[in-house]
Amino acid sequence: MKKLIVAQSAGFCFGVRRSVDMAEELLREHGSCASLGELIHNEDVIRTLTKRGMRVIQSPDELKAGEHVLVRAHGEAPEVYAALEKTGAEIADATCPKVRAIHRIVANAKQEGRFTVVIGMRNHPEVLAICGWCGEHAVFENAGELEKWLEDKPSPWEKPITVVVQTTQTHSNFHECCDFIKKRCTNLKISDTICLATSTRQEEAAKIASECDAMVVIGGKHSANSVHLAEICRMHCSNVQFIERTQELDLDRLKAADTVGLTAGASTPAWIIKEVRNKMSDEIKVEETTVDKEMSFDEMLEETLKTIYNGDKVTGLVVAITGTEISVDLGTKYSGFIPTSEFTDDGIKVEDAVKVGDTIEAVVVRVNDVEGTAMLSKKRLDAAKMWNDIEEAVESGAILEGVVTEENKGGIVVNVKGVRVFVPASQTDLPREAELSQLLKQTVRLKITEVNKARKRVVGSIRRVAQAERRERIENIWNEIEVGKKYKGVVKSLTSYGAFVDIGGIDGMVHVSELSWGRIHQPSEVVAVGDEIEVYVISFDKEKRKISLGYKDPDGNPWTQFTNRYQVGDVASVKIVKLMPFGAFAEVLPGVDGLIHISQIANRRIGKPEDVLTVGDVVDAKITAVDEEKHKISLSIRAMSEPAPVKADEPEEYEEEPAAEEDALVYEVSADGVASGIAPEENEEA
């Protein structure tokens, strides 16, 4: 053997290490304790602890009054805890936090009336404990069992199902079972509860085994994770030794191997790993290049025993995410967890911000040495970091972003990454009479104006940012403005002659004549204050800072519509809109009026238009003249009712009227939409 590769993930997981530490602490303080079942699947560790005063019991009935009893990392069912409490024993609960998380999942499933599928070794202590927290459930060791059970009992698949998996199972078995379930159940909740340390150990073992000529796996023969580890190694390497202790190592099988890998299950103590490694190194010459690996392995083992304290900044790996907390592997004897309330601000989903396998930084809030847990907070660490950014922002004038969380006397409070920033009402950029509550839960941009770290006081201004942004927008508008350019704006105010529209910090005026092609009397007939409208530039004066805007669509010009639709000689259905002494104005199309001269209203002489017509009447009229340049139209009702021309030898029976062409009025429409016209002199006399 020339090269030895030692897996960095080999040995105690933090759950096993924690239970052993708790047993040793009980023995130091009380001289004796009981373990309900074997503490871990390692005879050497059990033997050592037994010599120091720990006894292994199989039932709560074996406990003595007042004795300290240890619940191992595998956990127990609720009824077992009840039986322990009945004896009056002092309970030290060493249940692995990852196993406890499974208990919570299946207990919730029970409350929701869901059927629970547990994937794992049905007689394993961890699985037996999980089942105790379940409602209706079934345990399957592989996909084959699932399929057979479905044939015998198809009814459970019609229920909502929750799936959990033993923490030491292989991912391949878990995924195979899940793929089978997904095909038969639609109302499904699957929780991948395999311990990340187990996954890491298995992945690393597979990688090393594929690179080595021989593999040594250390672990108890009754340890599920150690058995799985040996199986994985055999899939990638033909020369695999599965041993429990140094004495079982067969060095002869390693002599022909150039590269040998070494890994160990979660129940294997560091001293056994060291013994095996040292024996391999002493008996067979190993290149010096492995020394660095051995040293890093020693350091890694030492690191796992490190104690952490409140206020420490720690880094860990996210191993599980639930609705209430994020579990973090800190690589120490403590299991870290971050309550969701200590992870993100309100409104941000945890699953959108972090994923299993991510590395995360947090600060230690509370350490529980009895349970071996450490409550962490990411928000508090972010807030501490943010203080430095805020102090720098005062000097640099940087713009920060936060969410308005509350309204209080005189202003609002903005949460800027965990730091409370007070913004006085005068600095909110709202009108004086406006309600501050309208800003609640809004994301705002602000500048820091005052910082007092000792008093934890920070003051900011939204107004300064808003003013600067408005000035920038205004300058951009004046630099880029041109006739015809379109803007989206908001109607700010109305007058009798038009509407003022804010197009981004600048108010432009839309004259009443530019609001509609139709006849209107007030701008309010078309727009209201607060309306968002699209306008275009008609003209502008940079020196006087004035902009004239248009609102009516140029493509909707009614005169264009009229000329496209009608020509001289056509008959149109028109609506009488105004009566004058010299005739009647009629709407041909919305926005297009024509004049029916008094002489063209009837085929007889009339005194005034209202003798025949009323405003609102709809009549047919012939278009007798069109002035394209001046947009003028002459209409005639008389032309619709004139009798056919008489024969030459038959005298006329009525007084001849002037020709329509001679009597037609050509009128003008002023810029403000008022039409006017003057009848020929002889007609006025008539």
Strands (E), 106-196: 115-119, 137-140, 161-165, 188-190
Do 252 and 401 belong to one domain? Answer: no
Q: Report the run of H or E that residue 363 belongs to, with start and end.
A: strand 359-368
Q: DSSP secondary structure string, 515-528?
A: T-SS--SSGGGT--
The rounded percent of the chain whose pLDDT value lies above 70 is 87
Q: Lowest-pLDDT range, 327-336, 431-440, 646-655?
A: 646-655
- From 539, 556, 573, give the residue that closes a domain: 556
Q: Is the pLDDT of residue 320 over 60?
A: yes
- From 142, 163, 190, give the residue that closes a domain: 190
Name the amino acid, one letter, at 124: H
Do 212 and 65 belong to one domain? Answer: yes
| Closest of 371, 380, 309 to residue 339, by C-alpha | 380
CA distance linking residue 275 with residue 528, whole number of Å? 86
Range of the domain at 544: 481-556
CATH of the domain at 87: 3.40.1010.20
195 lies in a domain?
A: no
294 lies in a domain?
A: no
CA distance linking residue 178 with residue 75, whole number of Å? 25
Which residue carries 């329509």 as its tokens? Answer: 660
CA distance linking residue 364 with residue 376, whole number of Å? 5
CA distance linking residue 674 with residue 667, whole number of Å? 11
Judged on CB neighbours under 10 Å (0-12, 13-18, 19+), 553 is exposed
Do 90 and 101 belong to one domain? Answer: no
Scored b (16 or more CB within 10 A) or e, 374-391 reads: bbbbbbbbbbeebbeebe
| Closest of 329, 274, 317 to residue 299, by C-alpha | 274
Instruction: Compute the radius of gyration of the chain from its Cα atoms.
Output: 45
Do 544 and 673 belong to one domain? Answer: no
Do 118 and 173 belong to one domain? Answer: yes
CA distance linking residue 642 with residue 490, whole number of Å? 55
Do 486 and 549 belong to one domain? Answer: yes
Q: Is the pLDDT of residue 683 over 50?
A: no
pLDDT category, 283, cuts 50, 70, 90?
A: low
Q: What is the pLDDT of residue 306?
A: 62
155 lies in a domain?
A: yes
Q: Lowest-pLDDT range, 67-71, 203-207, 680-684?
A: 680-684
Do 206 and 87 belong to one domain? Answer: yes
Q: Annotated active-site positions, please?
A: 126
Calculate mean pLDDT across residues 601-606: 89
Half-sphere exposure of 489 (CA within 13 A, CB side): 30
Q: What is the pLDDT of residue 285?
A: 55
Q: What is the pLDDT of residue 194?
A: 85
301 lies in a domain?
A: no
Number of H helices and E strands in the chain, helices first, is 18, 34
Calculate mean pLDDT across residues 385-397: 80
Do 511 and 576 belong to one domain? Answer: no
Greater confidence (47 vs 676) lies with 47
Phi, psi of 530 (to 5 degrees): 100, -15
pTM, entire model: 0.47
Q: What is the pLDDT of residue 346?
A: 57
Phi, psi of 193 (to 5 degrees): -100, 15
Domain count, the chain: 6
CA distance linking residue 400 with residue 459, whole number of Å? 12
Do 562 and 628 belong to one domain? Answer: yes
Sheet holding 90-93, edge to edge: 54-57, 33-36, 68-71, 90-93
SS3 283: helix
249 lies in a domain?
A: yes
- Please, what is the average pLDDT of the chain? 83
Q: What is the pLDDT of residue 389?
A: 80
CA distance linking residue 314 with residue 308, whole number of Å? 9
Q: What is the pLDDT of residue 526?
A: 87
CATH of the domain at 542: 2.40.50.140
Q: What is the pLDDT of residue 12?
A: 76
272 lies in a domain?
A: yes
514-538 pLDDT, tens digit each: 888 777 788 998 899 999 998 999 9
The rounded percent of the chain whose pLDDT value lies above 90 is 35
Greater confidence (131 vs 369) lies with 131
Q: Report strand pairing: 188-190 vs 161-165.
A: parallel
Instruction: Calculate the CA 419 to chain-centre distance.
Output: 22
Greater confidence (657 vs 36) lies with 36
Q: Lowest-pLDDT range, 325-339, 458-472, 653-667?
A: 653-667
Angle, CA of 54, 55 and 61, to the nearest 5°: 135
13-28 pLDDT, tens digit each: 777 877 888 898 899 9
First vs last C-alpha separation in the chain: 131
The token pair at 358 is 């991510």
Do 158 and 278 belong to one domain? Answer: no
Do 577 and 641 belong to one domain? Answer: yes
Sheet holding 214-218, edge to edge: 3-6, 259-264, 214-218, 240-243
- From 270, 287, 304, give the residue that closes a domain: 287
292 lies in a domain?
A: no
Contact 51, 78 (CB under 8 A): no
Do 574 and 676 belong to one domain? Answer: yes
Q: What is the pLDDT of residue 101?
A: 86
72 lies in a domain?
A: yes
The token pair at 686 is 């008539």
Q: What is the pLDDT of residue 675?
A: 45
Q: Is the pLDDT of residue 442 over 70?
A: yes
Calculate mean pLDDT across residues 286-313: 54
